[in-house]
């Protein structure tokens, strides 16, 4: 789905477009980032809140003790959110709470000083620019920013003249608008970065012609499946597949038709697998399947489904129809296999036996 962001800047409109991927990975990434940074950045911000008592002392010594106490109290309240102490409290919830307490501490401490809100407006506004790192959407941005904004406006109304109130409200509103634009741009850049990352991962793990997994991914998955089966003593089978007389297809109809045949075989293999099975293209006309939790009988049934599906697949070539068959070598894991490479070798040996037996058949070792 194409999503457009309209960012209004005085004198021009910026229209940003992107393809929107699933939002769930982005939310998970943002949650992980906040979980990582809160225990590190949160205490630093709380310490800064307390250290700024020196500014209170220089501005209004008579009320510095009162404002300093407020800073310490709110820094302590914010500290509850720096670590996952409260159950079922997400990192986003903890970050919002920390922002409310730290911003509230700055605002209330400034309001207790003579002229503090007017002279301290810069420090109050700085807190707004942390919101883009906390909020992950418009609704969340509004939720995070509203309590401190209302507190600021209330304190301004009680402690400042009307011109000061209007000037402070305009400055705060302008800063909030800039923070909102920052958040939208940050979200856009994160989406784009994740899209690029996902494409790089896909390209590194998939065959570009058939869209099946490639050899590198298959070897890693085979090693993982073998290790899991050995650890939990579950069944596992490997299958090597090879299209019969594929060179004849290329020589007769051309490589473009050969590519279509490879795609048709890949689809037939994929459609014949169970949900837990894995398959991919090793290269050329060779494919490889992993059958976790498959007994010898179940693995044979899976292989037979594949053989029949490939034999039934058709590729149109002009007025003709191209059909191919496939030979399958099957190896079931047992205690004699020292590693996944040994099981793979047995499947390859079984494939050669299937070829020698006349092709379009299954041989198991």
Tens-digit pLDDT profile for residues 280-335:
999 999 999 999 999 999 999 999 999 999 999 999 988 889 999 999 999 999 87
Asked if 200 and 150 count as a contact pair (C-beta separation under 8 A), the reply is no
Quick one: 215-364 is in which CATH superfamily? Reverse transcriptase/Diguanylate cyclase domain (3.30.70.270)
Q: Show me where the domains of the chain are located.
A: 2-204, 215-364
Give the separation between CA 180 and CA 211, rounded to whole angstroms.
Answer: 40
The secondary element (H helix, E strand) that includes residue 204 is helix 162-205
SS3 call for 158: helix
pTM (2 d.p.) = 0.70
Average pLDDT over all residues of the chain: 90
What is the pLDDT at residue 335? 73
Determine the number of helices (DSSP H) and then strands (DSSP E) in the chain. Answer: 14, 9
Phi, psi of 168 (to 5 degrees): -65, -40
What is the pLDDT at residue 218? 96
Provide mean pLDDT across the span 253-273. 95
- Is 221 annotated in the active site? no
Angstrom distances, CA of residue 304 to CA of 40, 86, 300, 309, 332: 57, 54, 6, 8, 15
Is the pLDDT confidence value at 19 over 70?
Answer: no
Cα atoms in the Cβ-side hemisphere of radius 13 Å centred on 155: 26
What is the pLDDT at residue 27? 79
Q: Which long-range contacts link 180-188 to residues 24+ away (Cβ below 8 Å)? A: 180/132, 180/138, 180/141, 181/7, 182/129, 182/132, 183/131, 183/132, 183/135, 183/141, 184/5, 184/7, 185/7, 186/132, 186/133, 187/26, 187/136, 187/137, 188/5, 188/16, 188/18
Is the pLDDT confidence value at 16 over 50?
Answer: no
Tens-digit pLDDT profile for residues 105-163:
999 999 999 999 999 999 999 999 999 989 988 999 999 999 999 999 999 999 999 99
Residue among 285, 286, 314, 317 flagged as catalytic: 285
Is the pLDDT confidence value at 11 over 50?
Answer: no
- Measured in whole angstroms, the distance separating CA 156 from the mean position of its chain's CA atoms is 42
pLDDT band at 3 (very low <50, low <70, confident <90, very high): very low
- Among candidate residues 260, 67, 286, the one with its CA nearest the CA of residue 159: 67
- Give the start-end residues of each E strand in the chain: 2-9, 12-19, 236-243, 278-283, 286-292, 315-317, 320-322, 326-332, 362-364
Is the pLDDT confidence value at 193 over 90?
Answer: no
Tens-digit pLDDT profile for residues 27-56:
788 888 899 999 999 999 999 999 999 999
Asked if 176 and 128 count as a contact pair (C-beta separation under 8 A), the reply is yes
What is the pLDDT at residue 24? 56
pLDDT band at 12 (very low <50, low <70, confident <90, very high): very low
């Amino acid at each position: 789905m194409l999503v457009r962001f309209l960012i209004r800047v005085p004198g021009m409109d910026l229209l940003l477009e992107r393809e929107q991927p699933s939002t769930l990975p982005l939310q998970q990434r943002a949650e992980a980032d906040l979980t990582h940074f809160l225990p590190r950045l949160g205490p630093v911000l709380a310490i800064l809140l307390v250290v700024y008592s020196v500014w209170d002392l220089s501005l209004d010594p008579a009320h510095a003790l009162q404002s300093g106490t407020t800073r310490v109290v709110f820094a302590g309240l914010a500290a509850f959110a720096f670590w996952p102490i409260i159950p079922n409290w997400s990192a986003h919830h903890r970050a919002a709470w920390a922002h409310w307490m730290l911003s509230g501490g700055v605002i209330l401490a400034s309001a207790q000083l003579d002229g503090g809100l007017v002279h301290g407006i810069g420090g109050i506004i700085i807190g707004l620019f942390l919101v883009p790192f906390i909020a992950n959407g418009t609704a969340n941005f509004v939720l995070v920013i509203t309590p401190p904004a209302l507190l600021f406006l209330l304190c301004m109304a009680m402690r400042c003249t009307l011109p000061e109130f209007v000037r402070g409200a305009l400055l705060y509103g302008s800063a909030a608008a800039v923070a909102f634009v920052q958040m939208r741009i940050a979200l856009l850049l994160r989406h784009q970065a994740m899209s690029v990352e996902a494409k790089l991962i896909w390209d590194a793990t998939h065959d570009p012609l058939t869209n099946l997994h490639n050899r590198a991914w298959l070897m890693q998955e085979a090693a993982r499946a073998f290790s899991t089966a050995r650890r939990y003593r579950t069944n596992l089978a490997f299958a090597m597949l090879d299209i019969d007389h594929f060179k004849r297809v290329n020589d007769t109809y051309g490589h473009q038709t050969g590519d279509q045949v490879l795609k048709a075989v890949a689809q037939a293999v994929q459609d014949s697998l169970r949900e837990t099975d894995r398959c991919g293209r090793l290269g050329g006309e060779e494919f490889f399947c992993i059958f976790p939790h498959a007994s010898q009988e179940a693995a044979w049934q899976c292989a037979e489904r594949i053989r029949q599906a490939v034999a039934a697949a058709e590729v149109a070539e002009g007025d003709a129809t191209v059909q191919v068959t496939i030979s399958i070598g099957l190896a079931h894991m047992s205690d004699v296999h020292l590693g996944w490479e040994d099981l793979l070798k047995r499947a390859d040996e079984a494939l050669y036996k299937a070829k020698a037996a006349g092709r379009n058949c299954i041989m198991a070792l």
